[in-house]
Amino acid sequence: METVIGVIGGSGVYDIEGLEDARWQAVEGPWGKPSDEILTGRLDGVRMAFLPRHGRGHVHSPSSVPYRANIDALKRLGVTDVVSVSACGSFREELAPGDFVVVDQFIDRTFAREKSFFGTGCVGHVSLAFPTCPRLSAACAEAGEAEGIRIHRGGTYLAMEGPQFSTLAESKLYRENWGCDVIGMTNMPEAKLAREAELCYASVAMITDYDSWHPHHGEVDIAAIIATLKCNADKARALVGRLPALLGASRGPCPHGCDRALDYAILTAPDKRDPALVAKLDAVAGRVL
């Protein structure tokens, strides 16, 4: 199978440099328009697809990002591996602004978003015990280390609804009682939808601040975040640039089963399935439907 790397760029990351045959193309599906056109091309012989999560010019808030349309569009382009890059706050002293964390767990506190491709007329339940792909995550960590980025392997990401930042009480709860490592607003339901679409998914959290818990840093400073974002964006592009060589132009089945997540997930009997919903699932779940 051909490797096709999809990159979802968060705040500050709006393109990929060095793509051959690069072009922005519109991809529409039954779940609506994605956040923006998708930049496609090749890097070191490997097909790439880049989608700015908030749209170029940052037009979507975390709550208005069309997550289902984004994942569906990447799947329609043949993407096999999705790398999410996003700005985050840190709950740990050792996870400093400018550091990257390759996330491997999530706590979802969002509440205003559609979180599944499945529903009435075609019910599906995927396993999310291990929501990221270890193989793809390891490649991201290796790429970051090769670029000299201070990168941490593993961490729990608290996904909040936003768009406001945390209160001090919330920040302390997530850090002290829940054991979270970073906080962001966009990796959920993205990771859930990627699993439903049988895509390998890795999350690279770019730390911009210490949220509001840190006694010596005070509340979140937007000006400081923007300055760190610019530096992090350059690091993120460098990390992504190393992935084609690490992943290769072809791949076998995911050793962790990400690409077979729907094998036993759909419970609705074939004769009871809603034809309209089944039609919308043509890209996401076509392999099993």
Residues assigned a catalytic role? 209, 211
Q: Are 202 and 226 in contact (CB under 8 A)?
A: no
**Beta strands at 46-52 and 4-9: parallel, antiparallel or unpaired:** parallel
- Cα-Cα-Cα-Cα torsion 260, 264, 269, 274, nearest 10 degrees, comes to -40
Nearest of 244, 264, 230, 289 to residue 80 by alpha carbon:
244
- Closest by Cα among 33, 58, 64, 46 to 7: 46
